[in-house]
Amino acid sequence: MFPPKLLELVRESKFVHLGTCSLEAVPSVALMNYLYVDREDSYLQECGVIIMAGATQSDKCRNILYNDHVSLLLHDWIAAENMAMAKQPVPWGAILQRTDAARDEDHMQWSATIRGEAQVLQSSSGECQYYKQLLLRANPDAEVYILGGEEDVSIIKVKMTVAKVTDKQNNTYEFINAD
């Protein structure tokens, strides 16, 4: 199960590095604006998902059609510049034991690589339209990237499966999503 602090980071962040791989095993990484949708608010209410929009003819969309396994890299962007000011590194175990959800220095000292299964949604589906509307509400300034200007835009849905969290001291912890 993913720990609360990890889900908090996923909910609060706005950008993620999306890693995909082509049929010919050529990797591609893209910085993406995204939205995390909890199970209760997801279209099928099957699990929490990450939703993003991308040009239909982009490497990322084509790669996902060939290979649905993706990698996501998340970290606290705003806090990255404050890392040098942290007094003492906090081990991941201590973070997990905390019950408060406040953003504090220990929250700034780790990153997460999340593996998942991605799907490019059919543009005519109710699910695609539902997630487009959620993206538009969350990011009204990104309308051209969600609805498309002159290029066709697809909605990408990612189900998170495994997360590897690494802290500032290179301790790595793996979590399997039970969702």
Domain ranges across the chain:
4-176
CATH class of 4-176: mainly beta
For residue 169, give the 3-state DSSP assignment: coil
Separation between Cα atoms, residue 79 and residue 8, nearest integer Å: 14
| Whole-prediction pTM | 0.81
For tokens 């939205």, what's the residue? Answer: 35
pLDDT tens string, the chain, 179 residues long: the values are 898 989 998 998 889 999 999 999 999 999 999 999 999 999 988 889 999 999 999 999 999 999 999 999 998 655 444 444 455 555 555 555 543 444 455 555 788 999 999 999 998 899 999 999 999 999 888 888 888 866 789 999 999 999 999 888 889 999 998 76
Q: What pairs with residue 24 in β-bridges? A: none
Sequence-ordered list of residues with C-beta below 8 angstroms from that of 10, at least 6 positions apart, any chain: 2, 36, 50, 74, 112, 114, 160
